[in-house]
């Protein structure tokens, strides 16, 4: 993703000098909180703070991973470590406050806040969720125009054996950038309660005659939501960059909500939890056909996502192949999961292994072939958790006759990988959907 250097809001906070400065200042603040000339401090208060911080970290990890369990893969070790450091800074400040005067209390509180800032910065560097302050403050800064559903008087479709780029040519006066709008995508048939999505319309969509462009339905991970692709993913910048290199042509992107909430996990199946598969296979394409002028048919519709969204993309590709002819799986799991196989069966499939096998991609691909489906699999080179799982699904796709590709990019399970995954697969996607040769 290319970041505009317009001011402090656009300074990188996950790379370069700034996060290093935050780390150094935070460590000095932690050292200042830990050092004292009091013998009582060294013999009692400091050990007590360290023990309580360690115990609190263990409890937080237990609560998140074993009780609440919002993340199927659990908290990464580095994240647990920095949670512990933040807790230690807080406890050191608590133990130092009582004997101090107001000036000293102010300094100790400031030091604790610096430790918290340092820990938060290091967690952010782990995922690259907020590469700049502008992305961090996006929910308050964001202002997207209303989606226009106006129909062009004439259109240009892809003739047999050709690409759209060979039939449509950029007219003079075409805008250099596309539009990004928020929009509700209701679960009319499924009853699924989805949060608002986003629609990216490339510059070519604003032309008349209007080229009938392919559509990419895109999903975020969990925790998360559609706004993640817009803010952390830099969706508009990636798509505008591609369009600039292809005469204003790019796929239309519809970012949808497949979870219903930040921490939700519907497994993208129809179950007692939610009818998420029906939402993605029926309501979403129905909304596209009703509100946009696009290419039609499974060959022009693709679905993709990151992490949980990548898992969902494969699920829809094999369980609704009549809708989606192509998919992009970025760092997805080998099977839909709520943490353990037993938990998943009980929560969504009534304990039935057969019901799970009926929709699980690995089982579906083992019994059915998909010679007319295109799939792109992407994973971070250092993603030891999801990388092997994604590769396992890729191999199953190849064995099922899909036209599948496998790509690794630098990084782990983070937004550096997801941004690179999307931008790196746009050329492939545009080719398999008939946009360009």
Q: Which CATH number fits the domain that encloses residue 213? A: 3.40.50.1820
pTM higher than 0.85 for the full model?
Answer: yes
Residues 150 and 94 in one domain: no
| Cα(239)–Cα(201) distance, integer angstroms | 9
Q: How far is CA 235 from CA 218, 226, 307, 430, in A?
A: 10, 11, 17, 16
Which residue shows structure tokens 């295109």?
374
Q: How far is CA 344 from CA 99, 132, 271, in A?
A: 52, 36, 11
| Phi, psi angle pair for 13, to nearest 5° | -115, 5
Residues 103 and 232 in one domain: no
Is 1 domain-assigned? no
Q: What is the largest CA-CA distance in the chain?
A: 84
Residues 289 and 318 in one domain: yes
Is 134 domain-assigned? no
HSE-up of 423 (CA within 13 Å, CB side)? 20
Residues 152 and 122 in one domain: no
Residues 262 and 346 in one domain: yes
Which residue shows structure tokens 């998420």?
276
What would the DSSP string read from start to end of 332-398? --SS--SSSHHHHHHHHSTT-HHHHHHH-HHHHHHH---TT-EEEEEEETT-TTTHHHHHHHHHHHH
Is 137 domain-assigned? no
**Domain stop point among 127, 156, 189:** 127
Per DSSP, 205 falls in state: G
Q: What is the dihedral of CA 21, 23, 24, 29, to 10 degrees?
A: 120
Is 135 domain-assigned? no
Residues 388 and 239 in one domain: yes
| Cα(110)–Cα(119) distance, integer angstroms | 14
Is 275 domain-assigned? yes
Task: Specify the pLDDT at position 6.
Answer: 63
Residues 272 and 409 in one domain: yes
| Cα(309)–Cα(287) distance, integer angstroms | 20
| Cβ neighbours of 155 (radius 10 Å) | 16
Residues 190 and 316 in one domain: yes
User: How many domains does one find in the chain?
Assistant: 2
Task: Specify the pLDDT at position 3.
Answer: 42
* Residue span of the structural domain in which 59 resides: 8-127
**Domain stop point among 96, 127, 158:** 127
Is 3 domain-assigned? no
- DSSP 3-state of 75: coil
Residues 295 and 320 in one domain: yes
Residues 74 and 216 in one domain: no
Is 150 domain-assigned? yes
CB 425 within 8 A of CB 376: yes
Residues 119 and 151 in one domain: no
Which of 288, 291, 349, 356 has the alpha carbon at shortest distance from 323?
A: 288
Residues 237 and 356 in one domain: yes
| Cα(332)–Cα(26) distance, integer angstroms | 35
Q: How far is CA 327 from the centre of its chain?
A: 15
| Cα(371)–Cα(353) distance, integer angstroms | 27
| Cα(432)–Cα(325) distance, integer angstroms | 9
Please report, for the chain, how many H helices and E strands are present, in that order.
17, 10
Which of 228, 315, 246 has the alpha carbon at shortest distance from 279?
A: 315
- DSSP 3-state of 206: helix
Residue ranges in the chain modelled with pLDDT below 70: 1-6
């Amino acid at each position: 993703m290319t970041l505009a250097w317009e001011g402090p809001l656009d300074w990188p906070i996950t790379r370069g000098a700034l996060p290093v400065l935050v780390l150094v200042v935070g460590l000095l603040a932690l050292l200042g909180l830990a050092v004292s000339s009091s013998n009582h401090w060294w013999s009692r208060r400091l050990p007590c703070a360290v023990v309580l911080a360690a115990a609190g970290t263990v409890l937080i990890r237990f609560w998140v991973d074993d009780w609440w369990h919002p993340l199927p893969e659990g908290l990464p070790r580095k994240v647990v470590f920095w949670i512990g450091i933040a807790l230690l800074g807080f406890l050191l400040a608590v133990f130092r406050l009582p004997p101090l005067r107001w000036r000293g209390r102010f300094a100790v509180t400031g030091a604790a806040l610096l430790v918290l800032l340092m820990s938060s910065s290091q967690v952010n560097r782990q995922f690259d969720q907020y590469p700049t302050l502008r992305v961090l403050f996006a929910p308050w800064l964001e202002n997207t125009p209303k989606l226009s559903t106006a129909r062009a008087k004439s259109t240009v479709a892809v003739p047999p054996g050709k690409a759209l780029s060979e039939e449509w040519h950029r007219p003079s006066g075409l805008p250099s950038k596309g539009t990004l709008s928020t929009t509700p995508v209701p679960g009319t048939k499924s009853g699924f309660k989805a949060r608002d999505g986003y629609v990216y319309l490339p510059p070519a969509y604003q032309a008349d005659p209007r080229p009938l462009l392919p559509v990419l339905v895109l999903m975020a991970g969990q925790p998360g939501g559609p706004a993640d692709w817009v803010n952390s993913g830099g969706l508009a910048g990636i798509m505008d960059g591609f369009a600039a290199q292809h005469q204003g042509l790019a796929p239309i992107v519809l970012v949808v909500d497949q979870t219903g909430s930040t921490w939700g996990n519907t497994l993208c199946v129809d179950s007692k939890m939610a009818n998420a598969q029906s939402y993605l296979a029926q309501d979403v394409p129905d909304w596209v056909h009703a509100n946009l002028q696009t290419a039609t048919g499974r060959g022009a519709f693709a679905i993709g996502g990151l992490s949980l969204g990548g898992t969902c993309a494969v699920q829809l590709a094999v369980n609704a192949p009549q809708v989606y002819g192509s998919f992009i799986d970025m760092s997805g799991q080998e099977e839909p999961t709520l943490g353990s196989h037993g938990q998943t069966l009980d929560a969504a499939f009534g304990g039935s292994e057969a019901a799970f096998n009926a929709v699980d991609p690995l089982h579906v691909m083992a019994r059915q072939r998909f010679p007319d489906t295109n799939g792109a699999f992407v994973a971070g080179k250092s993603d030891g958790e999801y990388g092997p799982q994604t590769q396992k699904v890729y191999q199953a796709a190849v064995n099922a006759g899909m036209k599948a590709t496998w790509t690794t990019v630098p990084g782990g399970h983070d937004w550096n990988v997801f941004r690179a995954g999307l931008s790196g697969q746009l050329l492939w996607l545009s080719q398999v959907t008939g946009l360009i040769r």
